Amino acid sequence: MAASRIDAVGDRPLRVAIAGAGFVAPFHIRGWEAQPGIRVVAICALDTRQAEERARTYGIANVYSTVEEMLDTEEPDVLDICTPAAVHRQHIAAAAGRAVHVLCQKPLADSLDEARAIAREAARVRLMVHENFRFRPWYRELARLLRSGVIGEPFYCRSDGRMAGTVLTAAYPHRPWSIERQPYFAAAKPLLLVESVIHQIDCCRFLFGDASSVYARARRVSPHVAGEDLVTLLVTFSGLDAVIERSYASRGYGEPMASEAVAIEGTRGTLFLEREGTIRIEIDVPGERRSERYAFDADEAYPQSYADTIGHFVTCLRQGRPFETGVEDNLKTLEIVFGAYRSIRLNEVVQLPLQ
């Protein structure tokens, strides 16, 4: 069985069990394969045929239909949860009751109350939320550049992600891209804010710290989804306002995975994250105007972010260090998410933290 929450597990080999066999499962499995001293011993899903397909592809020995049976039989050190949020609490409780540490895909829960309950119920084990966006290389570099003071004191951020994920396009004429990838999106309500904008919110928290208020607007554009597919937020951080926008109903922006753009304005210049995965620094002060670029492989960054997230989990688990996206940190991200939904309902600014 796994070590208690307060103990580091050291360098001993670790056994990992996977819950869920959908779209993100292969990225998780490959992320675990990249870690030394780790073995994925089992995978489970209600759709056992899909789990069996993943097991064949990645050489996983055992397949189960329930998390509880898998945990009782395999006695793993870690449960990696890749299932929808509606069953996260059940799966985390099953792991915590067996002293198994947990890495859980975001969102941690469908409501803030449930997320807080999970935090209490999982206190016996180490629990980290898989927020892989902040582990993308350009966000790590943006954080380094902000710490360096290259653009002076930041006062404004715009984070914009646009794609045609919920509408029919030339490339996806029969079924929208996001629904082809994750079919449960079609009926999910709420949708975009809790499933996707949450990444941008978490990255802004990573870069700028805690938020003090949020104002949000949302709408549904596509008839192919039940929930919102266009969201705009104004989030206030200490000394900085962030406008966060995301659309799954916008045409003409190119490939979905390269549709993200960020601008961070400071008193000396601006940091630009351009859609192809390039950071551009523009310094513009009296007597000095210069430009620098840092290029990243956008195609590689997505799968690598999973491996880097899992690598961070493994390192912290082995050494007994706090997780960067541990449950207490993630509750602050979820406060902005569910504060935004409250703002949408009330059409007013919502103060943070939520009571």
Q: Show Cβ contacts of residue 288 under 8 Å, excluding neighbours closer than 6 positions.
A: none
- For the cut 70, the answer to whether the pLDDT of residue 294 exceeds it is yes
- C-alpha 305/C-alpha 233 separation (Å) is 25
Query: Taking the CB of residue 183, how many other CB atoms lie within 10 A of it?
Result: 13
Architecture per CATH, 134-297+334-351: 2-Layer Sandwich (3.30)
Identify the band that residue 3 occupies on the pLDDT scale cut at 50, 70 and 90: very low
Q: CATH 3.40.50.720 region(s) of the chain?
A: 14-130
CATH label, 14-130, candidates 3.40.50.720, 3.40.50.300, 3.30.830.10, 1.10.287.110: 3.40.50.720
Structure tokens at 43: 């995978």
Tell me the pTM.
0.94
- The owner of tokens 């039940």 is 226
Average pLDDT (283-300) is: 91
Which residue, among 135, 94, 83, 85, has the nearest Cα to 112 in the 3D structure?
85
Average pLDDT (50-58) is: 97
The three state secondary structure string of 279-302 is: EEEEEEECCEEEEEEEECCHHHHH
Q: CATH 3.30.360.10 region(s) of the chain?
A: 134-297+334-351
Per-residue model confidence (pLDDT) at position 4:
39
Q: Kindly report, residue by residue over 157-184, the tens digit of the pLDDT.
A: 999 999 999 999 999 999 999 999 999 9
Identify the band that residue 222 occupies on the pLDDT scale cut at 50, 70 and 90: very high
